[in-house]
Amino acid sequence: HEARTSSIMAPKRRWPTSKLHGTSLVSVTQLDVETLEQLFWLADQMKAMVKRDGMCDMLKGKVLGNIFYEPSTRTMCSFATAMLRLGGQVVPVNESSSSAQKGETLSDTIRCLECYADVLVLRHPALGSAKEAAAAASKPVINAGDGTGEHPTQALLDMYTIKSELGSLDSGLTLTAIGDLKNGRTVHSLVQLAALHGMRVNLVAPDSLRMPQHVLDAAASRATGWDAYAQSSELSAEILGATDVLYVTRVQKERFASEAEYEAVKDAFIVNAETLRAAKQSTIVMHPLPRVNEIATDVDSDPRAAYFRQMENGMFVRMALLALVLDADAADKLPIEAGAKRSRGRA
């Protein structure tokens, strides 16, 4: 019998109890570098465990309430799968089948569903809805997107993907975000975490879709006066040539007041194989998905296209997040891949 060498039971790694334990995650402003380091380390272990065993029973007996008032494929399915792979169960709820159709308030819906679940995940079209839900709940609420506000768990998986693809979250990295930076909640959260790590950020968008100033102010307040960003209405060869992470976003038709306004900017930026000739071979291309036409399919076969790997990473990061929120000792419980040592540096 050949001994299994893919994993070992490591000595107890006495991580401090996560700041995420038992708390709601509404905004990335709640996160610090140490929390990210622990979360990403655990996501690595979740990834190894899934590939090795498929699932574990860490959250056996726990129930996730998956509450989606807006359409979703990746976020909804990855949260549900994350819970199932950790041995828990999922109660799915959508607006069309809930008492919201009868006029029930969001707060009352949350108070109802927390009676049946240990943690609630909420996607809602209204800005500030996650904060309202967290205030009404006595159980943890995780923001899965609140209108044009934030999408914290997308930013977490984005940062994890950058770390996995490029090897670190170094302050020398340059992130270029293009597209709908006004309405894109994913990039609102991502820019704040990029600033926390001291990255330089290029913000490329039509004038009507520029990043809101309050997002940049929030980033600067968290990152000790960070101002390493530049705004442009053109994705120039110079910008692209200096970019380590090209983060492409969809122009969000559902956020526009009229069809005419959307039509005026919908094709502002289209990245294709020709576009990427100006990018470094080490550059990675990311997208929170879904895409419409902003990344041509001829990019999919380019090794620099990381968006499908990024999508898969969402499950591992959400597994780690659910574990830390629901289990104070989660980081000390999994079998660890041989050689997977806790980093003492920045996440």
Which residues are known to be catalytic?
Answer: 74-75, 102, 123, 151
CA 149 to CA 126: how far, in whole Å? 8
Diameter over CA atoms, the chain: 68
Contact (CB, 8 A) for 202 and 230:
yes
Q: Compute φ and ψ for 235, nearest 5 degrees.
A: -85, 85
From CA 288, how far away is CA 300, in angstroms rounded? 14
Assign residue 238 a region: left if phi > 0, alpha if psi is -120 to 50, beta otherwise? alpha
| Cβ neighbourhood burial of 93 (10 Å; 0-12, 13-18, 19+) | buried
Cβ atoms < 10 Å from Cβ of 127: 13
**How is residue 153 written in tokens?**
């768990």
Is residue 14 helix, strand or coil? coil
Q: Give the C-alpha separation, 93 to 170, whole Å.
A: 39
Q: What is the CA 130 to chain-centroid distance, rounded?
A: 15
Structure tokens at 64: 């996730």
Amino acid at 247: Y
